[in-house]
Amino acid sequence: MPENFPFKAPSVKFTTKIYHPGINDEGHICVPVLRDQWKPTVSLSSVLITIQDKVNNPSPDDPFEPDIAVLLKNDKAKFLATAKEWTKKYAT
């Protein structure tokens, strides 16, 4: 949490690698509420719900990782297989 929270958004970073179009190699997630749409009235629970929704429902629109987004758009089965492989490799 930043020192000037709630006037500045919290910093969110995944420490486990994740194969996702909205999460980059450094673990940062592409969520507007954590960037340009942050307001001091945003609750932490709504931020966590937004992150959970983003992780569970990957979208190829506005990606951090364009190559992964293209695969999600053009070959969802391969995208899911790679995501499953990364989960086994990095999260178990």
pLDDT at residue 22, as a whole number: 95
pLDDT at residue 7, as a whole number: 92
pLDDT at residue 28, as a whole number: 94
pLDDT at residue 35, as a whole number: 85
Of 18, 29, 30, 51, the catalytic one is 30
Count how many Cα atoms sit within 13 Å of the Cα of residue 73 in the half-sphere of its side chain.
12
Distance CA 26, CA 44 (A): 22
Is 34 noted as a catalytic residue in this protein?
Answer: no
pLDDT at residue 1, as a whole number: 87
Closest CA to 10 of 30, 52, 38: 38
pLDDT at residue 16, as a whole number: 95
Low-confidence spans in the chain with pLDDT less than 70 = none
Distance CA 23, CA 86 (A): 13
Angle made by CA atoms 3, 46, 2, in degrees to the nearest 5: 10
